[in-house]
Amino acid sequence: MHPVALLLSDARLPVAGHTQSGGLEPALAAGLDDVPGYLALRLATVTRTEAATAVVTLAHLQRGEGIDAVYDAWAARTPSAAMRETSRELGRALWRLASRLWPLPPLPAWMPRPVVLGAVAVACDLPAEDLVRVIGYDDLQTVASAALKLRPLDPAVATGWVVAALPLLDQLASSVTGLARPEEIPATGAPWIEQLAETHAATSRRLFRA
C-alpha cells in the first residue's frame, strides 16, 4: 500500500473528519440497529459511487482531461442535495490541506471530496486501487467511530464491525478500480440514506454535520 494511502485513511488527518458520521446519526434516529448491515449497504451504494468518481477523476487527470464531465456524472448520481453539499464541504477541507502539501492539478472551486481525492492521487502517484480502499475504509471507520459517540458500545465491538467488513473492500476495489470514463460511474444510490441525509440537514439537534 502506498504510504500516502495510509496518511489519507488516518482519522488524525486535519480535514474535519470528526464532524462526520457517514449518515449514521440520522439512521440510528430513524431506528437502525443493524450497523454492520448499514456498513455493507453504504459500500454497495453511495460509497461505491464515491469511489468510482475518485478513480475516474484520477484517470481523467492522468489523460490530461478536464473533470467537468466527471463532476456532472457524480452530481447526477448523488441525488441528495445535502449529500452533495457535505461532499463539497469535505472536498474543500481536503483541498485546503492537500494544496499546502502537494502540487495538485488545478481544479474548479468546490469540488466534491472524491474529485479532490482523485487529484491528490494524481499528485502522489497513488494507484487507483489504493484510492478505492482509502475511500471504503474511511467510510467504515467514520461510521464505526461515530457509533461510539451515539450509542453505548464497547469500542472493540465497533472495531469488530470494521474487521468483518474488510473483505467488502476487496469487492469494492474489484468492481470500480478499472473504471476510466464518467458514464461508467455506477448510479448506485440508496434512497433511504439519501432521504435521511435531507432530514438530518434540517434538524437543529445533531452531534455530526452529516
Partner 1 sequence: MPDPTRAPSTRALRLGICGPVGTGKSSLIMTICASLAAELEIGVVTNDIYTDEDARMIRAAGVLPSARVVAVETGACPHTAIRDDVTANLMAVEDLEAAFALDLVLVESGGDNLTATFSPALVDTQIFVIDVAGGGDVARKGGPGIERADLLVVNKTDLAPHVGVAVEEMCADATAAREGRPVLALSRHDPDLVALLLDWVRGQVASHAAGTLVPADPGPMAPHFHAETGWHSHDDHPLTHQH
| 121 binding partner 1? (CB under 8 A) | no
Min separation Cβ 137 and partner 1, Å: 18
Establish if 97 lies at the interface with partner 1 (CB under 8 A).
yes
C-alpha cell of 145? 467511530
Q: Alpha-carbon distance 64 to 68, whole Å?
A: 12
d(CA 142, CA 136): 10
- Number of other residues whose CB lies within 10 A of the CB of residue 204: 4
Complex with partner 1: residue 13 or 44, whichever CB lies closer:
13
Q: Are 185 and 56 in contact (CB under 8 A)?
A: yes
User: In the block, which residue shows the cell 492537500?
Assistant: 98
Please report how many Cα atoms fall inside a 13 Å half-sphere around the Cα of residue 144, on the Cβ side.
24
Candidate list 31, 63, 152, 205; residue touching partner 1; CB under 8 A:
205
Residue 158 within binding range of partner 1, rule CB under 8 A: no
Return the residues of window 12-51 that contact partner 1 according to CB under 8 A. 12, 14-21
CB 149 → partner 1: shortest distance, Å?
4
Our CA angle for 196, 198, 204, nearest 5°, is 95
Q: In the window 185-204, what residues touch partner 1 (CB under 8 A)?
A: 204
Stretch that binds partner 1, among 9-17, 30-38, 60-68, 125-133 (CB under 8 A): 9-17
Residue ranges that bind partner 1, judged by CB under 8 A: 12, 14-21, 89, 92-93, 96-97, 146, 149, 204-209
